[in-house]
Structure 1
């Protein structure tokens, strides 16, 4: 299972704006709070997720990412498109 964080934007343009903020060094959790439309999750934290609990493209992208930290995040670039919109995904843990 993976400990996953994401930023979800319905519109591609908004996801790209969020991506620019990340590239300029803003913290993933801050960008998530500002841009993510998944308001239920604080700072984009989805907690621990297992295979089969995520939509296909999201799952493939998440499992392909290395574990990284908020200080040096490695995230999906370009954002991953699912039926929910565009996701910028990072993985904070794996077990």
Structure 2
């Protein structure tokens, strides 16, 4: 997660997972310590929402936090060729720009109906991204 980001509120769809002994949730967008325990992989199946303007990506993020399906929000907001549901397919390590790649390999796999996604959005030379991983490996 980028520095200075706001933590997701608990109870939201992007905030799924089981509580650990410390009270933190696994798979939570805000707890990097739990996601560092993920198995190291060389590829991920990834979706994203890409917007040139920060204000537009924040609108998309608000809809995700309301519990809307990731693919539906990506279709509505994303400004790239992966507009239809945000699918980028299987991406190998080394084929993505930083910090998108770091985030893609940090996140656990989730479903579009209950996504675990980057929050806050990631800034790259292409714009602002909300990243979601469907499959690891």
TM-score, normalised to structure 1, is: 0.96
Aligned equivalent of 2:70: 28
Root mean square deviation, CA, Å: 0.6
> What is the CA–CA distance in structure 1 between the aligned matches of 2:85 and 2:99, rounded to whole Å?
21
- Encode CA deviations 1:39-74: one digit per residue, 9 max, x unaligned: x22210000001110001000011000111112100
**Larger RCO, structure (CA 8 Å, separation 6 or more):** 1
Residues 1-95 of structure 1 aligned to structure 2 (within 5 Å): 1-38=43-80, 40-41=81-82, 42-95=84-137
Partner SS, residue 71 of structure 2: helix
Consecutive unaligned residues of structure 2, counting only runs of 5 or more, are 1-42
Going by fraction, where is strand more abundant, 1 or 2? 1
Going by fraction, where is helix more abundant, 1 or 2? 1
Whether the aligned pair in 1 keeps the contact of 2:45 and 2:89 (CA below 8 Å) is yes
Larger Rg over CA atoms:
2
Whether the aligned pair in 1 keeps the contact of 2:69 and 2:114 (CA below 8 Å) is no
Query: Alignment length, in residue pairs?
Result: 94
Instruction: For residue 26 of structure 1, report the CA deviation from its aligned partner.
Output: 1.1
Consecutive unaligned residues of structure 1, counting only runs of 5 or more, are none
